[in-house]
Amino acid sequence: MAKKKEVQLFAQHGLRYKLLIAFSLMSVIPLLILGYLVTNYIFPHLETLETVSLVVLIAIFIALMGFILAKRLVYPVIEMAMEARIIASGDVSRKINVKREDEIGALGSSINRMTQTIKDNMNELSLYGRKTKDLNMEIHKKVLTLSSLLQVGDAMSTAAKLDDILSFITAKVSQSYESGYSLLLLPAVEGGSFTAHNTYNYAEGELRNIKLRIGEGLLGKLLKDKEMLIVDDTITTAPEVKELMSNYHIKNAVFCILGTAVNAKGILIAGNDKRDFKYSEDDIELINIFAKQISIAIENDRLMKEAKSLAVRDELTGLYNKGYIEGRLDEEIKRAIFCQRPCSYAILHLDQFDLFRQKEGELAAEAALKRIADTLEKSMEDLDKAARIAGDEFAIVMPERNKKEAAKFVEELKKKVINTSVKGRDGKAKIDLSASTGLSENPIDGTTAKELTEKAAIDLKG
């Protein structure tokens, strides 16, 4: 509506009205001169109305021919000006229709070419904008992926729980696609099959309750001798793939084996329900990266557990840990039986230490445990070994000591522990501690490490 009004205003103040005014002015003077010449020199004696009318008609005809010629020159220019104004306002779909071989036709053709060039450039800019948008989305996706991988690396470096790491990776795999889902199958405790350990955005479905064995069943056979199985709209011709999609209600999914089919650590499943979807090389690479992260996390957890089992010292106190002291007790019992010598075992428990921890704080509790451990370590004789076996419990292995000798030694240890200077939250006040002990001896109370530890625990409670 605004464009139409603009064109009307343009026409009212344009060449069309100026042409009419110019024609009127140009016609009056020639007609007057023509009338004067005709009446005085050409036809000095006009006697009839017909003759006068003929003269007037000839004059009018000549004037009209001039007007028509001027109009043919000016009107195309007016039309081109109005079309150019509309094009300039943004409507590049318009086209100037001037079919002439003169300068006006050339001008119209030039304007049409310019309009087409502008239109082509606008289309290129629009295409460039769409490509830029897609590129920005890809960059954003890769940045998020990199951020996720860095977060996984940080989690592993800070010794986060394996379940937390696997849940995080599974969620990130699912969030890589709109309406995506993911499952992580890990070896079951028994049976050698793979079952769903972590799922994300996959509430109900056949895959959730699957028990997969590589090489067995439809999916297991498809995964045999493969590290990855891709299912999308580009590979639905194979009968077994069609059957797989039908049985598990899958539209698009990638099954990625962690490790090898022979020695698989698990299976990562990433899928979505999009129509006409095809996994790109970047998609496959991304899933591969997440699968490797899961493999690294699982292997890292295994190595940490192995290292922990091989460690012999408690990280906080520096005393021997529970695993070492139980093994050492077992060895000392065997030696004592072989040499027919005594061997005693004691447990020292800090009474109400949890209340102390709650009241004074974790830092004060750790400081207290370190000081108590230092007291025990300094009190040990050549063959004695002290260990921290729980948060507030310590154990002592005493070769060559019978129960009476061990009881006396443990009572002295208990007094030293109670008298250990332990400070509270403010770092000044001395906190009084109390302790309880339990004692057992080989062979009176047992002939194995398990029997002696159980007997000492019973004695502690009694």
pLDDT at 3 over 50: no
Q: What is the mean pLDDT of residues 300-312?
A: 80
Contact 399, 332 (CB under 8 A): yes
182 touches 199 (CB < 8 A): yes
What topology is assigned to 159-307 in CATH? Beta-Lactamase (3.30.450)
Q: Is a pLDDT exceeding 50 seen at residue 6?
A: no
Q: Confidence band (pLDDT; 50, 70, 90) for 91?
A: confident
Listed residue (290, 295, 235) closest to 263, CA to CA: 295
The whole-chain average pLDDT of the chain stands at 80
CA pair distance 289, 149, nearest whole angstrom: 9
| CA–CA distances in Å: residue 428 to residues 424, 425, 432 | 7, 8, 13
What is the percentage of the chain residues whose pLDDT exceeds 70? 79
pLDDT (tens digit per residue) in 344-361: 999 999 998 988 888 888
Cα separation, 306 vs 118, in Å, equals 70
pLDDT at residue 347, rounded to an integer:
96
The enclosing H or E element of 181 equals strand 180-187
Mean pLDDT within 249-278: 84
DSSP 101-170: SSHHHHHHHHHHHHHHHHHHHHHHHHHHHHHHHHHHHHHHHHHHHHHHHHHHHHHHHTT--HHHHHHHHH
For residue 52, pLDDT over 70 is answered with no
Residue 82 has pLDDT above 80, yes or no: no
Comparing 284 with 440, the larger pLDDT belongs to: 440
Angle, vertex CA 242, rays to CA 237 and CA 248, nearest 5: 155
| Residue ranges of the chain that CATH labels 3.30.450.40 | 159-307
pLDDT digit string, tens, across residues 103-154: 666 777 777 787 778 778 888 888 888 888 888 877 877 787 778 778 877 8
Instruction: Look at 202 and 416; give whichever has higher pLDDT.
Output: 416
Bridge partners, 264 (sequence order): 259
- Reply yes or no on whether the pLDDT at 102 is more than 70: no
Give the Cα separation of 18 and 37 in Å (integer).
29
Report pTM.
Answer: 0.53
Most confident of 24-33, 133-142, 183-192, 320-329: 320-329
Strands, E assignment, 19-111: none
Superfamily holding 322-461: Reverse transcriptase/Diguanylate cyclase domain (3.30.70.270)
Ranges in the chain annotated CATH 3.30.70.270: 322-461
Tell me what the mean pLDDT of segment 243-261 comes to.
82
Q: What confidence score (pLDDT) does residue 369 get?
A: 93
Adjacency order of strands within the sheet including 343-350:
385-390, 393-399, 343-350, 435-442
- For residue 442, give the 3-state DSSP assignment: strand
Angle in degrees, CA 56, 57, 61, rounded to 5: 120
